[in-house]
A and B are shown apart, each in its own frame.
Chain A
């Protein structure tokens, strides 16, 4: 019994990492319709910057600093690149984000180096764990889940109850109408990228003690985060969290019955199966604002 629970906790641990990336994917997709494959790079940059800053300032300041710096990077990316390339098709945009992710990765290799880094555990040490009915989980997982929870809640409040948030939603459901009613759609897009950069960086900081940070970690994260976002239903940050946890659970439970080498294959088989039944994702619906036509 406690073994099943252990697999579940292990799935939640990995899933929470995917969820962090999925939120960023959904946020940008929702407002701008761009699938930003450089999202994993935001996570990497956040972790790397925080590790570098942590050498000089206390941990919370380092994390805040990293979030700020990467947020600016995200905004700059939109202003310098995507703003100028609006006329291109979506597939172009996707290819551009992939190219961008390679550029960022190589730049990170030169700014930092190839070494694996990590932030210290926020609470406890490498050895400490929380016991739940005989199963163990690292306290850092609660930091990740807590962060994800707070972020989702904050986004919810932001989108529902603030004017800027409402403007962002307007841009997503009908850009022309939003423009006609006086919303500066360009600034909203810049804001989205800034926000997504900040969230990615925050995620990169909280997962760094467990998953560790390396210049080439972004790609793998982006693939799994993308899978999580698709499974949950593109465009819905909250569904992305559920998708992430589900992908994580699918992986860890597949280990319990099959050799671990097939873990990714099993997880993606389940993902494909789910999408055959529900092409718009588990929590996305056909006509929802998230389901923009590509």
Chain B
């Protein structure tokens, strides 16, 4: 038994190492300039399980700060971004937030990347009167509204409304929902369940799986037995690709709907031919090339996409776009306020109207700190390994 005990102990120590601190990979953009810089804090999950969000976000901000400063900065002052890598951990996000507020005394914080982190620091920012522009998707971030907390990604509820409307067009009424055990997955599952009755959709089965799952055929077998007409998957990588593969391997030919988290061509590549026909609501960044020239977002989308892809030699993702919007909203707020005073900037952001970003056209109000409407989304599908606008 002694041997067993030591083995168990070792197992426990090992599991502890999963959440052991990872060294922060990126620290600070030190910009030296004569005029006193405007400091903005950034919390991104550059490493860790949510790095697919944080890495493009950090790259986007790095690129954008250089561009803004090359243009002469804001109000004649350069921008300095203090970047902290949270590795997706809410505990780290909280301590970095305190550090940014107390030590760095930043004007505003952009990020964090994930909903779980944002919800942990939302009360901290509200209490300390610190402007927070989150890059995470969950609806609860801005509902109920906290006066200092904003967010740039489209709302979960709007994504769900798009999915349900498309289902109605296709005559689908009985569905299965599968979701990952992350903050994003839980929030999406809740929205799907809350809005189902309103759209006359019946969720016949709802299953949650581990975010690190390597195979989902067991869950799909159960879903298949429930005799559903479509499956909605709400998760982050790599399950988004695995589920598409497993469905085809099982010979399931019902439509697969995914969340707006599917917005990265990498996931399509991972799933290969199995991703064909996957439906998901998403912002227009991924289809910027095929937008009509007179679309109001066309110029912003193509310039961000081209700059990013030229510089980093990888395909742009909507997540980097959320960081683009977050930083630009703060910058626009400073310009509109004409000062870097936090209260004035907060009021200016809340008063922003018709601001063109990558996620859509933002119009904030005291009741709406997301500022995007249903039209910020487009239903996309995968055709020949590329994203395309879905048409029936």
For chain B, the bracket of interface size reads 35 or more
Question: In the complex, which residues of chain B have a beta carbon less than 8 angstroms from the beta carbon of A98?
Answer: 13-14, 17
**B23 touching A136 by the CB < 8 A rule?**
no
**A279 touching B4 by the CB < 8 A rule?**
yes
A214 at the interface (CB under 8 A from B): yes
For chain A, the bracket of interface size reads 35 or more
Mark out the residues of chain A between 6 and 27 whose CB falls within 8 Å of any chain B CB in the assembled complex.
6-7, 9-11, 13-14, 17
Question: In the complex, which residues of chain A have a beta carbon less than 8 angstroms from the beta carbon of B46?
Answer: 114
Question: In the complex, which residues of chain A have a beta carbon less than 8 angstroms from the beta carbon of B11?
Answer: 223, 226-227
Checking A106, A109, A137, A211 against B214 with a beta-carbon cut-off of 8 angstroms, the contacting residue is A211
1/0 contact trace for A99-117 toward B, CB 8 Å? 0011000100110011110
Distance A116 CA – B17 CA, assembled complex (angstroms):
21
Distance A131 CA – B249 CA, assembled complex (angstroms):
9
**A260 touching B218 by the CB < 8 A rule?**
yes
Q: Give how many A-B residue pairs fall within 8 Å (CB-CB).
A: 159
**A230 touching B7 by the CB < 8 A rule?**
yes
Question: In the complex, which residues of chain B have a beta carbon less than 8 angstroms from the beta carbon of A94?
Answer: 10, 13-14
Supposing A109-B25, A212-B238, A260-B222 touch, asked if A35 and B7 sit within 8 A by C-beta, the answer is yes
Question: In the complex, which residues of chain B have a beta carbon less than 8 angstroms from the beta carbon of A127?
Answer: 245, 248-249, 272-274
**B271 touching A214 by the CB < 8 A rule?**
no
Question: In the complex, which residues of chain A have a beta carbon less than 8 angstroms from the beta carbon of B390?
Answer: none
Supposing A37-B14, A138-B249, A264-B210 touch, asked if A275 and B218 sit within 8 A by C-beta, the answer is no
Distance A250 CA – B75 CA, assembled complex (angstroms):
63
Distance A292 CA – B4 CA, assembled complex (angstroms):
11
| CB closest chain-B residue, reference A110 | B25
Distance A279 CA – B215 CA, assembled complex (angstroms):
30
Distance A293 CA – B221 CA, assembled complex (angstroms):
43
| CB closest chain-A residue, reference B237 | A116
Question: In the complex, which residues of chain A have a beta carbon less than 8 angstroms from the beta carbon of B3?
Answer: 291-294
| CB closest chain-B residue, reference A212 | B238
A252 at the interface (CB under 8 A from B): yes
**A114 touching B52 by the CB < 8 A rule?**
yes
- Output the residue of A9, A101, A294 with the most chain B CB within 10 A: A294
**B4 touching A136 by the CB < 8 A rule?**
no
**B270 touching A251 by the CB < 8 A rule?**
no
**A3 touching B225 by the CB < 8 A rule?**
yes
Q: B84 to chain A: closest CB distance in Å?
A: 17
B98 at the interface (CB under 8 A from A): no
Mark out the residues of chain B between 1 and 47 whose CB falls within 8 Å of any chain A CB in the assembled complex.
1-4, 6-7, 9-11, 13-15, 17-18, 20, 22-23, 25, 46-47
Distance A263 CA – B211 CA, assembled complex (angstroms):
12
A123 at the interface (CB under 8 A from B): no
**A11 touching B10 by the CB < 8 A rule?**
no
Question: In the complex, which residues of chain A have a beta carbon less than 8 angstroms from the beta carbon of B15?
Answer: 223
Q: A114 to chain B: closest CB distance in Å?
A: 3
Question: In the complex, which residues of chain A have a beta carbon less than 8 angstroms from the beta carbon of B218?
Answer: 7, 10-11, 14, 251-252, 255-256, 260, 263
* 22 CB < 8 A contacts A-B: A9-B217, A13-B217, A35-B10, A102-B22, A118-B270, A126-B249, A129-B248, A129-B249, A136-B250, A210-B242, A211-B214, A212-B238, A212-B241, A212-B242, A219-B14, A219-B18, A220-B212, A255-B218, A263-B210, A275-B4, A293-B3, A294-B7
Residues of A within 8 A of B (CB): 3, 6-7, 9-11, 13-14, 17, 35, 37, 90-91, 94-95, 98, 101-102, 106, 109-110, 113-116, 118, 125-129, 131, 136-138, 207, 210-212, 214, 216-217, 219-220, 222-223, 226-227, 230, 234, 251-252, 255-256, 259-261, 263-264, 275, 279, 291-294
The 4 A-B pairs at the shortest CB distance, nearest first, are namely: A114-B51, A211-B214, A127-B248, A252-B218
> Given A3-B221, A114-B48, A260-B207, 6 more contacts at CB 8 Å?
A11-B218, A126-B248, A138-B249, A210-B245, A220-B212, A292-B3
